[in-house]
Structure 1
Amino acid sequence: MGSTFLTRLKIGDKLVDARGLSKLYQGKLTLGWAAVLFAAAAMPIAALLYASPGFRHLFYLLLYKLAGVVGG
Protein backbone atom coordinates (compact mmCIF):
# COMPACT_ATOMS: atom_id res chain seq x y z
CA MET A 1 0.00 0.00 0.00
CA GLY A 2 2.84 2.41 0.80
CA SER A 3 4.58 1.74 -2.50
CA THR A 4 1.35 2.47 -4.37
CA PHE A 5 1.11 5.80 -2.59
CA LEU A 6 4.70 6.72 -3.50
CA THR A 7 4.34 5.90 -7.19
CA ARG A 8 1.21 7.98 -7.81
CA LEU A 9 1.03 11.65 -8.60
CA LYS A 10 -1.98 13.91 -8.64
CA ILE A 11 -1.99 16.20 -11.68
CA GLY A 12 -4.91 18.58 -11.42
CA ASP A 13 -7.96 16.45 -10.72
CA LYS A 14 -6.44 13.27 -12.24
CA LEU A 15 -4.41 10.62 -10.47
CA VAL A 16 -1.53 9.25 -12.57
CA ASP A 17 0.78 6.37 -11.65
CA ALA A 18 4.48 6.15 -12.58
CA ARG A 19 3.89 4.27 -15.84
CA GLY A 20 1.31 6.80 -16.98
CA LEU A 21 3.59 9.69 -16.10
CA SER A 22 6.41 8.33 -18.24
CA LYS A 23 4.00 8.14 -21.17
CA LEU A 24 2.87 11.73 -20.63
CA TYR A 25 6.35 13.25 -20.49
CA GLN A 26 8.62 11.59 -23.02
CA GLY A 27 10.68 14.66 -23.89
CA LYS A 28 14.42 14.67 -23.34
CA LEU A 29 16.53 17.48 -22.01
CA THR A 30 18.48 19.05 -24.87
CA LEU A 31 21.73 20.95 -24.52
CA GLY A 32 19.98 24.26 -25.19
CA TRP A 33 17.43 23.76 -22.43
CA ALA A 34 20.19 22.63 -20.07
CA ALA A 35 22.07 25.87 -20.81
CA VAL A 36 18.93 27.94 -20.16
CA LEU A 37 18.34 26.09 -16.89
CA PHE A 38 21.96 26.63 -15.82
CA ALA A 39 21.81 30.35 -16.68
CA ALA A 40 18.53 30.76 -14.79
CA ALA A 41 20.06 29.11 -11.73
CA ALA A 42 23.35 31.02 -11.98
CA MET A 43 21.84 34.52 -12.23
CA PRO A 44 20.41 34.80 -8.69
CA ILE A 45 23.50 33.13 -7.24
CA ALA A 46 25.74 35.62 -9.06
CA ALA A 47 23.56 38.53 -7.90
CA LEU A 48 23.77 37.38 -4.28
CA LEU A 49 27.52 36.93 -4.48
CA TYR A 50 27.97 40.34 -6.13
CA ALA A 51 25.88 41.96 -3.38
CA SER A 52 28.31 40.63 -0.78
CA PRO A 53 31.01 43.26 -0.06
CA GLY A 54 33.72 40.67 0.50
CA PHE A 55 33.02 38.86 -2.73
CA ARG A 56 32.77 42.15 -4.65
CA HIS A 57 36.23 43.10 -3.35
CA LEU A 58 37.60 39.73 -4.46
CA PHE A 59 35.90 40.11 -7.86
CA TYR A 60 37.46 43.55 -8.45
CA LEU A 61 40.85 42.26 -7.32
CA LEU A 62 40.67 39.44 -9.85
CA LEU A 63 39.63 41.90 -12.57
CA TYR A 64 42.61 44.15 -11.80
CA LYS A 65 44.97 41.16 -11.82
CA LEU A 66 43.53 40.02 -15.15
CA ALA A 67 43.91 43.52 -16.58
CA GLY A 68 47.54 43.55 -15.42
CA VAL A 69 48.24 40.19 -17.08
CA VAL A 70 46.54 41.18 -20.33
CA GLY A 71 48.23 44.57 -20.30
CA GLY A 72 45.16 46.79 -20.13
Structure 2
Amino acid sequence: MKVFGLGKPRSKLGKFLDRHGISQQELVKKSKVNKATISRLCSGDAFQPSMKNAQKVIKAIRELTGKNVDYDDFWSM
Protein backbone atom coordinates (compact mmCIF):
# COMPACT_ATOMS: atom_id res chain seq x y z
CA MET A 1 0.00 0.00 0.00
CA LYS A 2 1.22 3.49 -0.86
CA VAL A 3 1.63 6.07 1.91
CA PHE A 4 1.08 9.73 1.10
CA GLY A 5 1.34 13.00 2.98
CA LEU A 6 3.70 11.89 5.73
CA GLY A 7 4.00 14.54 8.42
CA LYS A 8 1.64 16.96 6.71
CA PRO A 9 -1.73 18.05 8.08
CA ARG A 10 -4.48 16.24 6.16
CA SER A 11 -8.12 17.09 5.64
CA LYS A 12 -10.90 14.50 5.73
CA LEU A 13 -10.47 14.17 1.97
CA GLY A 14 -6.70 13.76 2.28
CA LYS A 15 -7.06 11.08 4.94
CA PHE A 16 -9.66 9.26 2.82
CA LEU A 17 -7.30 9.24 -0.18
CA ASP A 18 -4.46 7.98 2.03
CA ARG A 19 -6.59 5.12 3.42
CA HIS A 20 -7.64 4.05 -0.08
CA GLY A 21 -4.19 4.35 -1.68
CA ILE A 22 -5.26 7.08 -4.10
CA SER A 23 -2.71 9.74 -4.98
CA GLN A 24 -3.66 13.38 -5.38
CA GLN A 25 -2.35 13.11 -8.95
CA GLU A 26 -4.80 10.26 -9.68
CA LEU A 27 -7.63 12.44 -8.36
CA VAL A 28 -6.48 15.39 -10.48
CA LYS A 29 -6.54 13.23 -13.63
CA LYS A 30 -9.87 11.57 -12.87
CA SER A 31 -11.72 14.68 -11.66
CA LYS A 32 -10.12 17.20 -14.04
CA VAL A 33 -9.86 19.62 -11.10
CA ASN A 34 -6.75 21.82 -10.91
CA LYS A 35 -3.75 20.32 -9.08
CA ALA A 36 -3.48 23.32 -6.71
CA THR A 37 -7.16 23.00 -5.78
CA ILE A 38 -6.82 19.28 -5.01
CA SER A 39 -3.71 20.04 -2.95
CA ARG A 40 -5.59 22.66 -0.89
CA LEU A 41 -8.55 20.30 -0.45
CA CYS A 42 -6.24 17.58 0.90
CA SER A 43 -4.10 19.73 3.20
CA GLY A 44 -6.64 21.11 5.65
CA ASP A 45 -10.32 21.41 6.44
CA ALA A 46 -10.44 25.22 6.12
CA PHE A 47 -10.74 25.21 2.31
CA GLN A 48 -14.20 24.59 0.83
CA PRO A 49 -14.43 23.74 -2.88
CA SER A 50 -16.92 25.34 -5.26
CA MET A 51 -19.98 23.18 -5.78
CA LYS A 52 -18.81 22.46 -9.35
CA ASN A 53 -15.41 21.21 -8.18
CA ALA A 54 -16.93 19.31 -5.26
CA GLN A 55 -19.21 17.44 -7.67
CA LYS A 56 -16.24 16.55 -9.92
CA VAL A 57 -14.21 15.31 -6.94
CA ILE A 58 -17.09 13.24 -5.51
CA LYS A 59 -17.80 11.67 -8.92
CA ALA A 60 -14.11 10.80 -9.38
CA ILE A 61 -13.84 9.27 -5.90
CA ARG A 62 -16.93 7.17 -6.50
CA GLU A 63 -15.43 5.89 -9.76
CA LEU A 64 -12.00 5.22 -8.20
CA THR A 65 -13.25 3.47 -5.06
CA GLY A 66 -16.75 2.21 -5.83
CA LYS A 67 -17.84 3.83 -2.56
CA ASN A 68 -20.96 5.95 -2.27
CA VAL A 69 -19.36 9.10 -0.81
CA ASP A 70 -21.11 12.45 -0.51
CA TYR A 71 -20.23 16.12 0.04
CA ASP A 72 -20.89 15.82 3.79
CA ASP A 73 -18.27 13.08 4.09
CA PHE A 74 -15.51 15.64 3.39
CA TRP A 75 -16.88 19.17 3.86
CA SER A 76 -19.54 20.89 5.94
CA MET A 77 -22.15 23.12 4.37
Superposition TM-score, scaled by structure 2 size = 0.27
- Of the two, which has the highest radius of gyration? 1
Task: Give the strand-richer structure, 1 or 2.
Answer: 1
